[in-house]
Chain A
Amino acid sequence: MEELIHSGIARYEYRHFIIFGSASQFAAMATECAGDQGAWWEFHDAYLLDAQARSFTRAGAIDLARDNGLDVARFTQCIDNEEHRDRILEMQRHARSVGISGTPTFRINGQPAARSLSGIIEQVRAAAEAVENQEGS
């Protein structure tokens, strides 16, 4: 899979799809606020590894921002004002409109992905070939 990404064949995109309520939505918003300061992936990684869900609270997220060297005042303002709420909800509406109902769900060029890793790899290669053939014709 890494070969597909590093060779330029595929790009990976993460989309928020909230199914576990307000704590999940808060984490998504905090991650986007961190993204405003270039730390989207740091928050993404921290949330996935946070087994005790400490950073799913306001205080925990602010600690995480501080630990990652962010401008804490700016970050706090962003989460308190829910600056990314509408964008996340729009992402959610769009996902539902294309049939997403659970997580994690993968799609490849907008189409439902295979359910196994090997199937996904095969599907990515086929999609790349299809694009290449289209461009060649």
Chain B
Amino acid sequence: MNHCLRSTFLVMLFSALFLAACSGGDDVAQETGTQTAAPQEVESAEAQARVQVIRDRASLGDPNAPVVIQEYSDFL
């Protein structure tokens, strides 16, 4: 049960990261949609910046978030 919960939680977290990268790219595409074609590197840099903000060392999310979810775990 605990391992299922852990796996589900991690899958959701990593899905979140993936979605963050994708949605960051979408935002850039929408913002630049009325202009000339958006340079690929701008979109890529925006997405990368978003991921870096979220994936700090051993933590995910806003450092100022009011709620902290801590997982105590062992890799084995």
Query: Which residues of chain A are within 8 angstroms of B45 by Cβ–Cβ distance?
Result: none
The CA-CA distance from A17 to B12 in the complex, in Å, is 22
Judged by DSSP, the binding face of B is mixed
**Would you give the 0/1 interface string for B21-37, flagging 1 where the beta carbon is closer than 8 Å to chain A?**
00000000000000000
Q: Say which size band chain A's interface belongs to.
A: 35 or more
> Judging by beta carbons under 8 Å apart, are B61 and A17 in contact?
no
Indicate whether A11 sits within 8 Å of B75 (C-beta atoms), given known contacts A2-B13, A6-B16, A115-B5. Answer: no
> Judging by beta carbons under 8 Å apart, are B68 and A104 in contact?
no
> Judging by beta carbons under 8 Å apart, are A41 and B5 in contact?
no
* Chain A contact residues, CB within 8 Å of chain B: 1-2, 4-6, 8-20, 23-24, 27-28, 31, 35, 40-41, 44-45, 47-48, 50, 53, 56, 95, 100, 102-110, 113, 115-117, 120, 124, 127-128, 131-132
4 shortest interchain CB distances as A-B pairs: A2-B16, A11-B61, A131-B66, A17-B72
